[in-house]
Amino acid sequence: MNITKELFGKSNDSLDVYLFTFTNNIITVKLINYGGIITSILVPDKNGKIDDIVLGFKTLKEYQKRNSYFGTIIGRYANRIAKGIFSINGIEYKLALNDGKNHLHGGNIGFDKVVWRAEEIKKNHEVGVRLSYISKDMEEGYPGNLDVSVDYILNKNNELLILYEAICDKLTIVNLTHHSYFNLAGEGKTDILDHKLMINADRFTEVDGASIPTGEIREVKDTPLDFTTAEKIGSRIKKLKGGYDHNYVLNKDKDFSLAAKVFEPVSGRIMEVFTTEPGLQFYSSNYLDGSFKGKSGKLYDKYFGFCLEAQHFPDSPNHPEFPATLLKPQEIYRQKTVYVFSY
């Protein structure tokens, strides 16, 4: 188990941004403390060939310029809030409208665009980085001073743990997630349509044309969203406008359980996702259009990556029937999501 640290660049507000590289001698993870971005995950295939399986860029300037959340921490609120408005105890809060008429992924300067404090973690059988950040009261319109920490830990079992904690001094809402674009065939090589995906969910939250929940929870059976048994991502994608960008209501028989499993047949790589969260957003990179050149010099086209974002449901503050995202003063928000790699 080993970890190194090097300067990656300076943020727009002249803060030092560092690249941390940590490895268990099989899997290697690279991340920067700007946005908590995972810039690289190096994983062997069934023949021992190592490839980078996440999309990303070479330089800090490129991450700052792009706005597609490559590899970032998302907060304070992952996914969308309708019309950028929510209420707590009769007090209405207004957020930035950065997704048409709605609020997306924490606003104009969400957790994906700030420099986090970073501390190395090194133990006998695990290595990683603890990131921490204080989001000030009314930052991006959210109430309360929110003290957040996110641990990225790689262990000897080829598991990448993401452990979130947050505490606030006021009633607020919190919904954090991670937004890596994965491609188990290797970054920039091809699309993800032949990946076989299983999602442990019988239901999903129906949305309108702006991806805002209607409030109805529907069965996936007999729809293109049914991944209860493994299916190729591309097998029914053309039946959906644009592609997949849906929140699945996970089948939960215990607090921490399997959410999804992905298999790439050529490389033999497998990725499993376990989480404590009630939902999982499956996104098939519908908005990539070949205009982004990735770190290996290849253009990222439509369907060149997939995201599996463990989360609470979109727009939950405006849907009391959904699992609550309200955080009480001095109560501790906790979330655990684990990506497990094999080949």
Active-site residue set: 179, 309
User: Which residue blocks in 141-272 are alpha helix, DSSP H?
Assistant: none
* Count of helix runs (H) and strand runs (E) in the chain: 1, 29
| DSSP notation for 31-66 | EETBTTEEEEEEEE-TTS-EEE-B---SSHHHHHH-
Q: What is the DSSP letter of 64?
A: H
Half-sphere exposure of 185 (CA within 13 A, CB side): 16
Non-local CB neighbours of 293 within 8 Å, separated by 6+ positions: 299, 300
Q: Is the peptide bond before 76 cis (omega within 30 degrees of 0)?
A: yes
Instruction: Give the three-class secondary structure for 237.
Output: helix
State the Cα–Cα distance between residues 189 and 160, nearest whole angstrom. 23
State the Cα–Cα distance between residues 95 and 175, nearest whole angstrom. 15
Task: Report the candidate in 203, 229, 230 with the shortest Cα–Cα distance to residue 217.
Answer: 203
State the Cα–Cα distance between residues 276 and 334, nearest whole angstrom. 9
Amino acid type, 104? L
Amino acid type, 22? F
Cβ-contact 176, 334 below 8 angstroms: no
Cα-atom radius of gyration of the chain, to the nearest Å?
A: 19
Question: Phi-psi category of 141—alpha, beta or left, where left has phi over 0 and alpha has psi -120 to 50?
Answer: left
Cβ-contact 246, 281 below 8 angstroms: yes
Cβ-contact 326, 27 below 8 angstroms: no
